[in-house]
Amino acid sequence: MALQAASVVSSAFSVPKEGKSSASFKDSSLFGVSFSDNLKAEFSSVALSCKREFKPVRAQTAATASPAITRGASEGKKTLRKGSVVVTGASSGLGLATAKALAESGKWHVIMACRDFLKAERAAKSAGMPKENYTIMHLDLASLDSVRQFVDNFRRSERPLDVLVCNAAVYQPTAKEPSFTAQGFELSVGTNHLGHFLLSRLLLEDLNKSDYPSRRLIIVGSITGNTNTLAGNVPPKANLGDLRGLAGGLNGLNSSSMIDGGDFDGAKAYKDSKVCNMLTMQEFHRRYHEDTGITFTSLYPGCIATTGLFREHIPLFRLLFPPFQKYITKGYVSEEEAGKRLAQVVSDPSLTKSGVYWSWNKDSASFENQLSQEASDAEKARKVWEVSEKLVGLV
């Protein structure tokens, strides 16, 4: 039923792309592939030696941070200081809704790490965020220099880092040619994965210094990167292949701009970047959870069909996508609800399990979801990690 309805609207979701291979939306029956063929293989549904880049310093507090738990002078009651959370891409959509939910709780100070300072300031103001509970700091994930500068600036601010949320992303479904980051990486993987990879690797040290009771690193994933789902089987499907394009630097010159070495496809590049996000979270977990106690998680917040993520899609898609998700797939979730979900992953005392990919059911109850085979492939996660650390200049 859902699939039938989907095929009716699928033409509206076709992206006009010329000269693309069979995986593009344009030339599929429901985008040129038989779902049954695609789904049958995928619908059924490491311990690595820890590289020590720093010694675990659990007991140590950040130089100027006040202790996380203090005793009230009169009654000896324990109080928790405000948590300090960095959210990337907090100027719109999920990031803004999460920042708002956290700032309004009064329990968090949100550092909104955004590429457009003025846009972020306006967004925070019009969302009515209490101004004592947020700070905006410049971060352009499409530039590794900007990532390093952000880390410097953040450290200079002398705030502790209790939770880092890697949320920002770009999606270029209609692009015919790749565009590139400052260092020459294809833009979607360069921003969504490599920018966040460097940021989180650098800030791990700061998270590890925090004395907050529950320190967390959250990397936003998505259903569309998981081929064990219907959404993940809409072409073009995520597939990192043997990482030959990534290893070549994704520069579109002497290497492909795509991770798997194939022809450029903006929608696939986004989905591949989400697979990298989910693999990175698990690799962090394997390398650092035991020694640092930091919780590493990813999530699919639901289909937030109204956000700026779809800004580059054709107008007809932007018109039909929200009702399609609301009434046909029933996967739709509002920005506000999705923000509450991510805020839960930031601060809910019951969501401390590490290495988990959270999702929510129809009653908005969280559950540990299953990742696809590729998105949970430990060997691939190790390779993505190793190639990525070379690309961002960590080794």
Footprint of ligand NDP (CB under 6 A)? 88-89, 91-95, 114-116, 119, 139-142, 167-170, 191, 220, 222, 300-301, 303-305, 307-309
C-beta closer to ligand PMR: residue 104 or 263: 263
Tell me if residue 171 is catalytic. Answer: no
Instruction: Check binding of 239 to ligand PMR (CB under 6 A).
Output: no
Q: How far is CA 256 from CA 184, 186, 244, 248, 380, in A?
A: 12, 9, 8, 7, 19
Residue 136's nearest CA partner among 106, 169, 103 is 103
Smallest distance, ligand NDP to C-beta of residue 56, A: 29
Instruction: Check binding of 245 to ligand PMR (CB under 6 A).
Output: no
Count, residues near ligand PMR per rule CB under 6 A: 21
173 binds, among ligand NDP, ligand PMR, none (CB under 5 to 8 A by kind): ligand PMR
Instruction: Check binding of 231 to ligand PMR (CB under 6 A).
Output: yes
84 binds, among ligand NDP, ligand PMR, none (CB under 5 to 8 A by kind): none
Q: Residue 186 forms beta bridges with which residues?
A: 180
Smallest distance, ligand PMR to C-beta of residue 305, A: 7
Instruction: Check binding of 89 to ligand PMR (CB under 6 A).
Output: no
Helix (H) or strand (E) holding 295: strand 295-299
Site mask for ligand PMR (CB under 6 A), range 326-345, x = bound: ---x-x--------------
83 binds, among ligand NDP, ligand PMR, none (CB under 5 to 8 A by kind): none
Token representation of residue 334: 């509002």
C-beta closer to ligand NDP: residue 167 or 200: 167
Q: Which residues contact 73 (CB under 8 A, 6 or more apart)?
A: none
Token representation of residue 238: 């995520």
Nearest-CB residue for ligand PMR? 331
Q: Are strands 78-80 and 69-71 parallel, antiparallel or unpaired?
A: antiparallel
Smallest distance, ligand PMR to C-beta of residue 227, A: 12
Residue 363's nearest CA partner among 302, 298, 297 is 302
Label residue 364 left, alpha or beta by phi (over 0 means left) and psi (-120 to 50 means alpha). Answer: left
How many whole angstroms separate alpha carbon 148 and alpha carbon 139? 9
Token representation of residue 190: 């360069």
13 binds, among ligand PMR, ligand NDP, none (CB under 5 to 8 A by kind): ligand PMR
Token representation of residue 47: 């311990």
Smallest distance, ligand NDP to C-beta of residue 77, A: 38
134, 171, 212, 270: the active-site residue: 270
Q: At residue 231, what are phi and psi to the nearest 5 degrees? A: -60, -35
Site for ligand PMR in 154-213 (CB under 6 A): 171, 173
Helix (H, G, I), strand (E, B) or coil at 358: strand
Smallest distance, ligand PMR to C-beta of residue 267, A: 6
Residue ranges of E strands in 103-246: 108-114, 134-138, 163-166, 216-220
Residues with a known catalytic role: 270
